[in-house]
Amino acid sequence: MKNISNTENGDKNFITKYFKFSSRQATFKKEIIGGLVTFLAMAYILAVQPSMMSTVNIAKPGSMPIGGVFLATVISAFVATITMGILANVPISLAPGMGANAFFVFTVCLILKIDPYDAMAAVLVSGWMYFIIAITPARKYISKAMPKNLKIAIGAAIGLFLAFIGLQDSGIVQSDAIAAPWLKSGVTSATAVKLGDFKNPLIIVSIVILLLMFILHFLKIKGGIIIAMGTGVVIMSILWAAGIKDFAPAFKMNKYSDEFKGFSQIAGKGWTHLGTMFKNPLSYIAIFVFLYTDFFDTTGTLFVIGESAKINEREGEKWMTKANWADAIGTITGATIGASTVTSYIESTAGVTSGARTGFASVVTGSLFLLSIALWPIMNPLMPIANSHIHAATNTVNPATIMPITAPALILVGSLMMMQLKEFNWKEMIDVPALFITLVITMLSYSITAGIAAGVTIFVILNFFAGLKQYINEKRGKPQFIVGDETEIVSSGIKEKNEIEQNTLYWERLNIPMLIMFVMALTYFGTTVLYLYK
């Protein structure tokens, strides 16, 4: 190919010139391979997103047809990733975000009982708000305003929640609620959850796939999630052929007509439901959390990939502005056609590791997402499978469906998100209660919003009183109060000194964005109490 340049000959055609092949030492071979690897690393979302979003049908039957969600996922990933590649010229791919989709389903729709289409409208508004922030200096201010420890706490909590959902969807754990008609509450329980029914072959397959995913990931096998999923489908097909009927529903062919019919049902609902969405006070909480998760997930991902691809070294951080535009456009597009929040994927680092350096790799990934529309007829093995092991006589609340192929991916991704905790500054003892509360409340309340609200509330209150003590000591001419410079280590009974940052000024951490979050948290708790006791 004559016109294809390399780093030695310079940029000799429009494509290589536009994507800056020479300055970034890129070649077509590396970009194509990098784009393919990123697609393989992200392709699990094509199955996980429809499986996750279809859970909304519990609250409003038929509102999220699984075929329509699949097509919305494909198109939103295609548009957002292509936009990122062409506009920002970086090897970053986008799709509906893990964590944000769980928040959409379990917190917004099932707990807050917001209509799914109103929730889609909330995602749309958050996308426009993100776009406004991205085109103004507010982006840099907000990204620096929230203390790093609190960002880590929230990110880790979302990861824990995602893994917990995966454990339930796989059947490895299940609710321990037992029907008790003689009680007004209707259920009684010794514990929140218990181990699942390990005589169920669907659960055994889930465990095998989970172990395989962990092994492949930590052996750094590229496309490990997809390989494990493919292996799971093979195992299921063998067991089905051997006469195990549990797997029969997985091998029915889907119809393209269902895909496009479902898409026409959900597309545009975000716009048509703006009016009803704004009438619900809880929707404003949802908008804020959608915006928060998208903004900070993207900020972290862009920085990591910019460093990995060495774009930050050569071009500073100017490219981040356009990358944020692309991310916001992705969310607006996704909400318009029926997808939850679209965000930049850290899996893009797989492509960077394989040599991707420019936005051309994103064009490759986006194109592969579009081509995946053709996969719909054979997607059933990756979707929720009806659980035939529900024993009515025991009155145990068993899961109606099990996701043996996709649920392990939730567990893996969630566990990897927990790795953020290694960056937590444990020397700032005042932040540990906020971390603990955020993690525990998120999981036990089954609500990301509740976890964030509780963590922010604890953080603001503790920092306010620590700052007040500093202020009093300063007025008295005493050394400033340092939180946690001595603490009891309960488990060992040893009192030891902690090397705490001696220059932390606690009131300075309570900036305007943090105070806004605090007010939003109190509003959330207030509206929740009113809702529960109305």
Question: How far is the CA of 476 from the CAs of 45, 484, 502, in angstroms?
Answer: 58, 21, 19
pLDDT of residue 396: 43
Note whether residue 326 is domain-resident. Answer: yes
Residue range 506-531: mean pLDDT, rounded = 80
pLDDT tens for each residue of 35-76: 988 888 788 888 889 988 988 988 888 889 989 999 999 999
Is residue 182 domain-shared with residue 251, that is, in the same domain? yes
pLDDT greater at residue 17 or residue 379:
17
pLDDT of residue 465: 94
pLDDT band, residue 3 (cuts 50/70/90):
very low
Give 81's contacts (C-beta < 8 A, 6+ positions apart). 92, 93, 94, 95, 330, 362, 363, 365, 366, 369
pLDDT of residue 92: 93
Q: What is the residue-wise DSSP string for 113-143? A: ---HHHHHHHHHHHHHHHHHHHTSTHHHHHH
Is residue 418 domain-shared with residue 272, that is, in the same domain? yes
The answer for 251, left when phi > 0, alpha when psi is -120 to 50, beta otherwise, is alpha
Is residue 203 domain-shared with residue 229, that is, in the same domain? yes
Is residue 404 domain-shared with residue 503, that is, in the same domain? no
Note whether residue 2 is domain-resident. Answer: no
Note whether residue 4 is domain-resident. Answer: no
pTM of the model: 0.74
Number of domains in the chain: 2
Tokens encoding 173: 């754990």
Residue range 263-291: mean pLDDT, rounded = 92
Is residue 379 domain-shared with residue 432, that is, in the same domain? no
pLDDT of residue 5: 43
pLDDT band, residue 355 (cuts 50/70/90):
confident
Domain, as residue range, for 522: 425-534
Indicate the average pLDDT of the chain: 83
Name which of 327, 268, 334, 339 is nearest 293 in CA terms: 327
pLDDT of residue 10: 58
Question: How far is the CA of 352 from the CAs of 10, 19, 109, 144, 376, in angstroms?
Answer: 21, 15, 36, 26, 29
Is residue 411 domain-shared with residue 441, that is, in the same domain? no
Residues 421, 434 contacting (CB under 8 angstroms): no
Residue type for 474, please?
E
Is residue 430 domain-shared with residue 417, that is, in the same domain? no
pLDDT of residue 530: 61
Note whether residue 11 is domain-resident. Answer: no
Is residue 411 domain-shared with residue 444, that is, in the same domain? no
Query: How many C-beta atoms lie closer than 10 Å to residue 265's C-beta?
Result: 16
Is residue 260 domain-shared with residue 280, that is, in the same domain? yes
Is residue 247 domain-shared with residue 384, that is, in the same domain? yes
Q: Is the pLDDT of residue 390 over 70?
A: no
Tokens encoding 341: 């929040």
Note whether residue 191 is domain-resident. Answer: yes
Is residue 175 domain-shared with residue 228, that is, in the same domain? yes
Last residue of a domain, one of 424, 441, 468: 424
Report the alpha-carbon distance of residue 143 to residue 299 in Å, rounded: 7
Is residue 352 domain-shared with residue 490, that is, in the same domain? no
